[in-house]
Amino acid sequence: MSVPHADLRIDAGWIVPVRPTASVLANHSLLVRDGRIAALLPTLAADGWSVAEHVRLPDHVLIPGLVNLHTHAAMNLLRGYADDLPLMTWLSEHIWPAEGRHVSPAFVRDGTRLACLEMLKGGVTCFNDMYFFPEATAEAAVEAGIRIAAGLIVVEAPTPYAADPDDYLAKGLAARDAWRDHALVQFCLAPHAPYTVGDRALEKIVTYAAQLDLPIHMHVHETEDEIRHSLEHHGVRPLARLRALGVLGPNLTAVHAVHLNDEEIDSLAAHGCHVAHCPASNLKLASGFAPVARLLAAGINVGVFGDAPGRSPGQGRQRRSRHAAGPTGPGNGYPGQRPGFGTGGTHRLTGNRQAGRRGGGQSGIGGHPALLRPHLPAGIQRGTGTGGPCLGEWPGRIGGRPQRPLGRSRNPGPCPCLAGTYFGWTIKKRGMRPAFPA
Ligand SMILES: [Zn+2]
């Protein structure tokens, strides 16, 4: 009988495959062959395989790579620039003029390189970006070995990248043609926001999205000012305008979605839209609290993201997830309920609930391995033991009782395995006690 072969075997103390939900496999091994998961087995059974590389992680939890659902990665170079201002002041008086002076392919490449390092360190193996010169973003992502959905940005205003919406689209589609066959690179259409993109451009974007089967990725209902601007200029709220233009649909990821009434939540749900949630950005800019619990209750898929570094402190996903699990907020509508632990649990907020649709993610970021399951690509984040702020330091309360962090994070100081803490916490809430070390 021939011995099965794998290129890589990882033995982990615990493996969280995501499906079935809330399951933790102790003393299991993951086997990878040709970049895909060949098997997920009890470690004893894996001894029957021949392997080229054998990694032992007895103190680690192995999880799938996380998805950062919305970034402006290159803006890492603008981190800390013009802090603590309202969104429109920050954009129109500081960021947009600075971008006009400095943005170039080299700027985008260098900023994205930096962001990729930060994201990989935080467990992110796929990000959904929106910025100028998307080919430079893709180049940096491929160099770092991280998956990207590169947003083909469109705004009305001229920038160093393009002169008008047609120019943005032409350049973006040319970048897509150049990179479309790369295994790590996918594209989406990225009209910036309802207040920066006109009707004619949005109609074209909807047509391209349908013809090319591309996701759309757009800031939506981020601030009250945005709603006011739309009422003044279009006579309707932004989502009503987008619905009339055909933008709403299962390929739309609505970024922020902070200011929503019940009718708009129903509309997002009815159209199968997804929401990208960044409480860190919303808190920093005092934009408000997204009604995440109501979105989840309506059946909307919600993921978290890092946004631009100038708007939130970093690109690491655990930090975003911690914020998502923290504030309930006056706009939430469900006082006391922490959205990160609602129905469907944390996996919905991490993007790890993705399964199947469009051959990949529910959020339209296809092909990302959000599950540890045979035949899926092996996008695995290894805990590095490099330390960092421990999620367990957050004084969480579930069901009125303070929750002690699990595993190593009981010790004060840096947590050697952020992912382990995070998933351990979720599992404990569900009444399951995996065999984490005391
Ligand atoms: Zn953004």
**254: closest CA among 217, 201, 227, 202?**
217
Distance 6 CA to ligand 1 centre (A): 40
**199: closest CA among 230, 222, 172?**
230
Distance 218 CA to ligand 1 centre (A): 8
Model's pTM, two decimal places?
Answer: 0.74
| Residues 6 or more apart in contact with residue 420 via CB below 8 angstroms | 14, 60, 61, 383, 406, 407, 408, 409, 436
Q: Are residues 75 and 204 in the same domain?
A: yes
Distance 220 CA to ligand 1 centre (A): 10
Q: Are residues 73 and 192 in the same domain?
A: yes
Distance 66 CA to ligand 1 centre (A): 18
| Domain residue limits at 35 | 5-64+371-402
Distance 189 CA to ligand 1 centre (A): 14
**Residue 144 maps to which CATH number?**
3.20.20.140
Read off the pLDDT of each residue in 182-189 and give the average, rounded to a whole number. 92
Residue 235 covered by a domain: yes
Read off the pLDDT of each residue in 243-270 and give the average, rounded to a whole number. 96
Phi, psi angle pair for 41, to nearest 5°: -135, 160
Going by pLDDT thresholds of 50, 70 and 90, the confidence category of residue 362 is very low
Q: What pLDDT, on a 0 to 100 scale, did the predictor assign at position 307?
A: 60
Q: What Rg value do the Cα atoms of the chain yield, rounded? A: 21
Going by pLDDT thresholds of 50, 70 and 90, the confidence category of residue 23 is confident
Please determine, for residue 330, whether its predicted confidence score (pLDDT) is greater than 80. Answer: no
CA 417 to CA 421: how far, in whole Å?
7
Residue 413 covered by a domain: no
Neighbours of 36 (CB within 10 A): 14
Phi, psi angle pair for 7, to nearest 5°: -75, -35
Distance 115 CA to ligand 1 centre (A): 14
Q: Are residues 126 and 255 in the same domain?
A: yes
Read off the pLDDT of each residue in 227-242 and give the average, rounded to a whole number. 97
Read off the pLDDT of each residue in 403-427 and give the average, rounded to a whole number. 29
Distance 297 CA to ligand 1 centre (A): 25
- Name which residue leads in pLDDT, 173 or 381: 173
β-sheet bridge partners, residue 277? 304
Distance 39 CA to ligand 1 centre (A): 38
Show the tokens assigned to 365: 């970021």
Distance 70 CA to ligand 1 centre (A): 6
- Name which residue leads in pLDDT, 71 or 390: 71
Read off the pLDDT of each residue in 99-107 and give the average, rounded to a whole number. 91
Read off the pLDDT of each residue in 263-285 and give the average, rounded to a whole number. 90
Distance 308 CA to ligand 1 centre (A): 6
| Residues 6 or more apart in contact with residue 349 via CB below 8 angstroms | 277, 292, 302, 303, 304, 321, 324, 325, 339, 340
Distance 195 CA to ligand 1 centre (A): 13
pLDDT in tens, 195-227: 999 999 999 999 999 999 999 999 999 999 999
Residue 20 covered by a domain: yes
Distance 95 CA to ligand 1 centre (A): 12
Distance 130 CA to ligand 1 centre (A): 7
Q: Are residues 123 and 177 in the same domain?
A: yes
Q: Are residues 159 and 20 in the same domain?
A: no
Lowest mean pLDDT among 5-14, 28-37, 314-323, 426-435: 426-435
Residue 359 covered by a domain: yes
Going by pLDDT thresholds of 50, 70 and 90, the confidence category of residue 423 is very low
Distance 255 CA to ligand 1 centre (A): 7
Distance 192 CA to ligand 1 centre (A): 8
Q: Are residues 247 and 108 in the same domain?
A: yes
Read off the pLDDT of each residue in 310-322 and give the average, rounded to a whole number. 47
Calculate what percentage of the chain has a pLDDT beyond 90: 44
Q: Is 193 left (phi over 0), alpha (psi -120 to 50) or beta?
A: beta
Count helices and strands (H / E) in the chain. Answer: 15, 15
Contact call for residues 318 and 123 (beta carbons, < 8 A): yes
Q: Are residues 121 and 269 in the same domain?
A: yes
Distance 36 CA to ligand 1 centre (A): 32
Q: What pLDDT, on a 0 to 100 scale, did the predictor assign at position 152?
A: 97
Q: What pLDDT, on a 0 to 100 scale, did the predictor assign at position 88?
A: 80
Q: Are residues 48 and 24 in the same domain?
A: yes
Q: What pLDDT, on a 0 to 100 scale, did the predictor assign at position 120?
A: 84
Is the preceding peptide bond at 20 cis, omega within 30 degrees of 0? yes
Amino acid at 14: W
Read off the pLDDT of each residue in 335-357 and give the average, rounded to a whole number. 31
Q: What pLDDT, on a 0 to 100 scale, did the predictor assign at position 112?
A: 95
CA 113 to CA 119: how far, in whole Å?
10
**Residue 58 maps to which CATH number?**
2.30.40.10
Residue 90 covered by a domain: yes
Q: Which residues surround ligand 1, an ion (CB under 5 A)?
A: 307
Q: What pLDDT, on a 0 to 100 scale, did the predictor assign at position 373?
A: 60
Contact call for residues 61 and 418 (beta carbons, < 8 A): no
Q: Please report how the helices 224-234 and 238-245 are oriented relative to each other, as an axis angle in degrees rounded to 10.
A: 60
Distance 306 CA to ligand 1 centre (A): 8
Q: Are residues 321 and 375 in the same domain?
A: no
Q: Are residues 156 and 17 in the same domain?
A: no
Going by pLDDT thresholds of 50, 70 and 90, the confidence category of residue 376 is low
**CA distance to 72, 235, 274, 341, 425, per residue, from 337 (Å):** 30, 35, 21, 8, 16
Residue 237 covered by a domain: yes
Read off the pLDDT of each residue in 370-381 and give the average, rounded to a whole number. 55
Distance 278 CA to ligand 1 centre (A): 9
Which of 324, 345, 367 is the last residue before a domain boundary? 367
Total domains in the fold of the chain: 2
Q: Are residues 360 and 395 in the same domain?
A: no
Distance 183 CA to ligand 1 centre (A): 25
DSSP state of 94: I
| Residues 6 or more apart in contact with residue 240 via CB below 8 angstroms | none
CA 355 to CA 363: how far, in whole Å?
9
Q: Are residues 172 and 152 in the same domain?
A: yes
| Residues 6 or more apart in contact with residue 93 via CB below 8 angstroms | 82, 85
Please determine, for residue 435, whether its predicted confidence score (pLDDT) is greater than 70. Answer: no
Going by pLDDT thresholds of 50, 70 and 90, the confidence category of residue 386 is very low
Show the tokens assigned to 83: 């802090």
Residue 67 burial by Cβ neighbours in a 10 Å radius (0-12, 13-18, 19+): buried
Distance 132 CA to ligand 1 centre (A): 13
Distance 365 CA to ligand 1 centre (A): 17
Calculate what percentage of the chain has a pLDDT beyond 70: 69
Distance 75 CA to ligand 1 centre (A): 10
Residue 318 covered by a domain: yes
Please determine, for residue 63, whether its predicted confidence score (pLDDT) is greater than 70. Answer: yes
Read off the pLDDT of each residue in 122-140 and give the average, rounded to a whole number. 91
Q: What pLDDT, on a 0 to 100 scale, did the predictor assign at position 82?
A: 75
Q: What pLDDT, on a 0 to 100 scale, did the predictor assign at position 59?
A: 82
**27: closest CA among 4, 61, 54?**
61
Residue 402: alpha-carbon gap to chain centroid: 28
Distance 387 CA to ligand 1 centre (A): 28
Sheet holding 301-304, edge to edge: 66-71, 124-131, 147-154, 185-191, 216-220, 252-256, 274-277, 301-304
Which DSSP string do the residues of 143-186 spell out, in sequence order? HHT-EEEEEEEE-SS--SS-SSHHHHHHHHHHHHHHHTT-TTEE
Handedness of CA 33, 38, 43, 48 (dihedral sign): negative
Location of structure tokens 């570094």: 309
Lowest mean pLDDT among 63-67, 174-178, 232-236, 319-323: 319-323
Average pLDDT over the chain reads 74
CA 143 to CA 138: how far, in whole Å?
8
Distance 41 CA to ligand 1 centre (A): 40
C-alpha atoms less than 13 angstroms from C-alpha of 155 in its C-beta half-sphere: 15
Distance 256 CA to ligand 1 centre (A): 8
DSSP state of 103: -
Q: What pLDDT, on a 0 to 100 scale, did the predictor assign at position 329?
A: 37
- Name which residue leads in pLDDT, 411 or 21: 21
Residue 419 covered by a domain: no
Going by pLDDT thresholds of 50, 70 and 90, the confidence category of residue 377 is low
